[in-house]
Structure 1
């Protein structure tokens, strides 16, 4: 079956964060911000969910479950669910998971918020790299754990971990770092960390009694030729690595609210289960199982479409925004674009997100939401029909160049 990723889907009136919740999320401190575009004129390329239909096999599974008529309290009782996960992880990541280590949460952000106070005492710290997905810092902030940052190094268009700095911060006696939050593949830069990088990081953290929480939600969204290797697969004897995964990004099921958390450490897993239940919507359970059991071909075609969108975006930027710097990411459907060279001619710009919303009717995220080490950058979601991406870039270029 050939899937249609050019279909335009109207999300108005669906209580969509992307469509209906953008103003409160992007501009919470400026609710009266004047945007001279009607809602239907705005192009939404900000939050990380897709403008594509969720996979038809998943929608079919949900319809079939609805035909069973009762939506009662539900947990994952059927062993077939775990068998489907085992096959997916083995086939795609060469990782033989143990479903006895599996707990679940409504989402990976929720899992992070739960894990940080479980793993770190109030006077201990969390280390993240920047630019960073904002909730990584919030996971420490909301539980009162101090968050320290290590800036990624930019080598040409490629971001790399500064292992000397990470080691210095972990070994610094003034610090009490207990958790390293790893984003793998990386949001927002799109890096796929190599086995050598993961091995060096893992050895450094584990040798110094630092837990690793690895957010691997983008693990299926890879460019052609890339391979995802879970960091836990490289350290099978360690129980200090917690892996967070979900079908949400891969299969456009962000509202499904079901993520997988692999906790090998028995006492910590017991503590999690004491505090949190594993009840879920019955629709979430069947949707996730159907995605992993029947969604491989859809995902293959999706990644091909995203590959082409990113190449198309590169051409558009070269033609219309020649001062911008953009390298096609190794993973994700998120484009990390450096507009720093446009700042001298646009000194009045306080925030790129405000500028493009007001002058182009395009909603994007800018440096303000990526903690630090992001000056002059914007993030664009390219998981949308190509003609929408084209219209957005033309509008943005016109606003910036004129």
Structure 2
């Protein structure tokens, strides 16, 4: 059996995805295809490193040393052709945490923060929690894919925006932004002096033939206008280990960010196991990731083609990366609430409701395909059957 074919029983493992079905879906018999972690074991080298560390048995305060920093630097150079320096790195327990800290460090209550909707729900919370104003640059949905409305983007910046939270690659629509798109967003942010807060947690998860370009890698000037948030958590299924990092080339911005971290009680370190896992993943995880993304592209085409053939009411939006599919369900003619109920009660599949990503997405659902093929096939069969039996 292949590494990605093994079906692992995750119930009773304190899994948010599998052990909260009654809480999230009010049903214990749905197949969970929602929260963004996968059902795969982390790379062997990661698990071996964690087990070796556990054998030591002492879990005292842990340093972020040069070996970890070198692993991060080498990974970004090899994967993204981005040369970063060790002094640019700050560490935190998660990308969302880093965004909260950055919003507090660089903006004030009442400031306008731009997002491109539909988008990852915590972006809304990051803005509203700190009494900032949400400004939307809605992505344009055309011919089964999403595009940026640059006229609207510039118009919103003209009206006064302090920061722009970029989702790259984009969750949930699956776009891997092209160089020209990134350059134009960066050009406009420089023109109107808008800080770029770039969430690139899905940056490693691109399909074969696609290329993720960190926006800060485009030029030194753009890098100095950008705070980049990254982590191995989505890439290697390490979300529960709470380990991420921030890349800031501008000295003043990095100092301000670190001061803001300190004010919240974070001391620029990682927990012991997150530290060990990150280093091992970035050092040895390349082949594992290559195989994963070949499988994810195959999964994407399987779902898309299965729905086109057997349930054309479900249209999978064109995707270029991540293990999250964005499904246009508008042909079902259901309200957002009824759509969620339909998949839970009739299909017995737990998906993310599109409405949570923005009002523009009330007819959409998000599906996590980061699972063995047998699990995916079961979910697809359930969804097709439910559509046919309406």
TM range (shorter): over 0.9
1:122 aligns with 2:109: yes
Tell me the CA shift for residue 19 of structure 1.
1.1
Inter-partner Cα distance in structure 2 for 1:226 and 1:378:
24
**Structure 2 residue aligned with 1:74, among 46, 50, 62?**
62
The within-5 A match list for 1:118-197 is: 118-172=105-159, 176-197=160-181
Structure 2 residue aligned with 1:223: 207
| Aligned counterpart, 1:8 | 7
Contact 1:157 1:327 (8 Å CA) reproduced = yes
Are the aligned partners of 2:69 and 2:86 in contact in 1 as well (CA < 8 Å)? yes
Aligned to 1:30: none
Contact between 2:355 and 2:364, CA under 8 Å: does it hold in 1?
no
**Is there any run of 5+ residues in structure 2 with no aligned partner, and where?**
none
TM-score relative to the length of structure 2: 0.94
- Is the contact between residue 304 and residue 315 of structure 2 (CA under 8 Å) also seen in structure 1? no
1:59 aligns with 2:47: yes
Query: Counterparts of 1:247 and 1:127 in 2: how far apart (Å)?
Result: 26
Question: Displacement of 1:23 after TM fit?
Answer: 4.7
Partners of 2:137 and 2:188 in 1: how far apart? Answer: 14
Tell me the equivalent position of 2:297.
307
Q: 1:355 to 1:257 in 2, by over 3 A?
A: same
Q: Is the 8 A contact 1:137 1:371 kept in 2?
A: no
For this pair of structures, how many residues does the alignment match? 383
Counterpart of 2:183? 199
**Hey, what's the Cα distance between the residues in 2 that align with 1:22 and 1:143?**
31
Number of the residue aligned with 1:367: 354
How far 1:54 moved relative to its partner?
1.2
Residue in 1 aligned with 2:235? 250
Q: Deviations over 1:79-99 (max 9, x none)?
A: 121111111111111100112
Once the two structures are TM-superposed, the CA of residue 22 in structure 1 deviates from its matched residue by 4.3
The structure with the largest helix share of the pair is 2
Paired position in structure 2 for 1:20: 19
Taking the aligned partners of 2:293 and 2:343, their CA distance within structure 1 comes to 27
2:173/2:317 contact within 8 Å kept: no
Superposition RMSD on alpha carbons, in Å?
1.6
Q: Quote the Cα distance in structure 2 between the aligned partners of 1:369 and 1:56.
A: 35
Structure 2 Cα separation of the partners of residues 105 and 292 of structure 1: 17
Please say which of residues 265-274 and 45-54 is displaced more in the overlay: 265-274
Q: How far apart, CA to CA, are the structure 1 residues paired with 2:233 and 2:277?
A: 10
Determine the structure 2 residue equivalent to 1:109: 96
User: 2:285 and 2:203 mapped to 1: Cα distance?
Assistant: 15
Asked if the contact 2:145–2:318 (Cα under 8 Å) also holds between the matched residues in 1, the reply is no
Q: What's the CA shift for 1:355?
A: 2.0
CA distance in 2: counterparts of 1:155 and 1:135, whole angstroms: 25
Residue number in structure 2 paired with 1:282: 272
Check whether the contact 1:335–1:382 (CA below 8 A) recurs between aligned residues.
yes
Aligned: 1:341 with 2:331: yes
Give SS of 1:147's match: strand
Displacement after TM superposition at 1:361 (Å): 1.8
1:379 is paired with a residue whose SS is: strand
Choose from 203, 208, 211 the match for 2:192: 208
Between the aligned partners of 1:298 and 1:188, the Cα distance in structure 2 is 24
The alpha-carbon deviation at position 319 of structure 1 amounts to: 2.3
Distance in structure 1 (CA, Å) of the matches to 2:66 and 2:225 = 26
Question: What SS does the corresponding residue of 1:217 show, helix, strand or coil?
Answer: coil
Counterpart of 1:264?
A: 249
Give SS of 1:177's match: coil
- What TM-score does the superposition give when structure 1 sets the normalisation length? 0.92
Give the secondary structure class of the aligned counterpart of 1:353.
Answer: helix
CA contact (8 A) 1:7 1:385 kept: yes
Is the partner of 1:97 in helix, strand or coil?
Answer: coil
User: Structure 1 unaligned runs (5+)?
Assistant: 28-32
Kindly state the Cα deviation for residue 384 of structure 1 after the two structures are TM-superposed: 0.6
Q: Deviations over 1:254-297 (max 9, x none)?
A: 11111110122323322332323123211110100000001111
Q: Matched residue of 2:235: which SS?
A: coil
**Aligned with 2:219 (options 235, 242, 259):** 235
On the 8 A contact 2:117/2:139 being kept in 1, the answer is yes
Counterpart for residue 380 of structure 2: 393
